[in-house]
């Protein structure tokens, strides 16, 4: 129940800014066109492996949509702001676990972004591009589960980033660095098998592929749903990290005075 109330409040609050967000959606679709143009230019005179020229366009297009579920979350789940205003002390005292509260709110954000950003961009690409569509219900379901796991893993990562605000005033930079690494190691622009070996190695041992690479390959029918085991493992591991860090946060809180 609490989950529904908190998520719904965030969703409804976002509805107030639909107009401004529409411009944002246009900008996001433009970014997608930029990345697709890079691959389209390369595909004119080289084969692109198992993806092919049409496949790579669908790969980048779906990744661009997925960003709104798996990457563009509230910066550090808003913890930095709470530390700045002192509100974090109150939030830690509430009878609900801090991680659970913030996660509920963020699911509302993700739901809004899915409806007002993911779907419009996806629909636009489906109309103007030769976008691949899965034919089986199983693939659609597996993609949905992969996206849910991507959203959850991203929430955990943002919680860990936000929590560092208790010890440093510069945690917002970690959000942007995380975003930069995400674009490189999640397979967002370049499929992981085309990364140089050392980077591919780091990527395979990180949680980033669960955000873009795994969901998109499942969507394109290039990977089986069993690859989701890795995402589940990362979700469990990051949840343990978040719970452990919250314990540490509750021991001593220094706020910036509001």
Q: Tell me whether residue 190 or residue 218 sits nearer to another protein (CB atom).
A: 190
Residue 166 Ramachandran class (φ > 0 left, ψ -120 to 50 alpha, else beta): alpha
CB of 110 to another protein, least distance (A): 19
CB of 2 to another protein, least distance (A): 31
Q: Tell me whether residue 143 or residue 216 sits nearer to another protein (CB atom).
A: 216
Q: Tell me whether residue 113 or residue 143 sits nearer to another protein (CB atom).
A: 113
Q: Tell me whether residue 38 or residue 240 sits nearer to another protein (CB atom).
A: 38
Alpha helices, DSSP H, located in the chain: 2-15, 18-43, 52-70, 79-85, 87-93, 98-113, 119-128, 137-163, 171-185, 197-204, 213-219, 228-251
Question: Cα dihedral sign for 22, 147, 194, 130?
Answer: negative
Cα 106 off chain centre by = 11
In contact, 66 and 212? CB cutoff 8 Å: yes
**Per-position b or e across 123-148, b if 16+ CB within 10 A of its CB:** ebbeeebebbeeeeeebeebbebbbb
Q: Tell me whether residue 22 or residue 144 sits nearer to another protein (CB atom).
A: 22
CB of 166 to another protein, least distance (A): 16
CB of 135 to another protein, least distance (A): 29
Residue 132 Ramachandran class (φ > 0 left, ψ -120 to 50 alpha, else beta): beta
Residues that bind another protein (CB under 8 A): 20-21, 23-24, 26-27, 30-31, 33-34, 37-38, 40-42, 44, 46, 168-170, 173-174, 176-177, 179-181, 183-184, 189-190, 194-196, 199
In contact, 258 and 86? CB cutoff 8 Å: yes
Q: State how far the Cα of 88 lies from the Cα of 7, in Å rounded to an integer.
A: 19
Q: Tell me whether residue 111 or residue 195 sits nearer to another protein (CB atom).
A: 195
CB of 27 to another protein, least distance (A): 4
The closest of 256, 257, 242, 253 to 91, measured between CA atoms, is 253
Q: Tell me whether residue 143 or residue 164 sits nearer to another protein (CB atom).
A: 164
CB of 147 to another protein, least distance (A): 23
CB of 25 to another protein, least distance (A): 9
């Amino acid at each position: 129940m609490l989950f529904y109330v908190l998520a719904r409040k965030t969703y409804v609050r976002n509805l107030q800014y639909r107009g401004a967000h529409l411009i944002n959606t246009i900008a996001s679709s433009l970014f997608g066109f930029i990345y697709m143009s890079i691959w389209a230019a390369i595909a004119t005179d080289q084969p692109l492996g198992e993806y092919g020229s049409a496949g790579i366009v669908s790969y980048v297009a779906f990744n661009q949509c997925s960003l709104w579920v798996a990457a563009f979350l509230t910066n550090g789940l808003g913890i930095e702001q709470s530390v700045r205003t002192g509100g974090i002390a109150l939030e830690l005292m509430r009878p609900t676990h801090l991680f659970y509260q913030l996660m509920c709110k963020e699911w509302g954000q993700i739901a809004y972004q899915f409806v007002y950003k993911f779907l419009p961009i996806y629909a636009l690409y489906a109309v103007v591009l030769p976008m691949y569509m899965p034919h089986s219900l199983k693939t659609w379901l597996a993609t949905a589960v992969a996206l849910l796991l991507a959203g959850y893993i991203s929430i955990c990562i943002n919680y860990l980033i936000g929590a560092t605000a208790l010890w440093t005033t510069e945690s917002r930079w970690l959000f942007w660095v995380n975003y930069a690494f995400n674009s490189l190691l999640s397979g967002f622009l370049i499929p992981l098998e085309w990364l140089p070996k050392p980077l591919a190695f780091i990527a395979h041992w990180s949680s980033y592929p669960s955000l873009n690479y795994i969901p998109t390959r499942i969507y394109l029918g290039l990977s089986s749903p069993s690859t989701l085991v890795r995402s589940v493992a990362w979700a469990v591991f990051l949840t343990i990290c978040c719970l452990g860090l919250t314990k540490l946060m509750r021991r001593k809180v220094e706020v910036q005075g509001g």
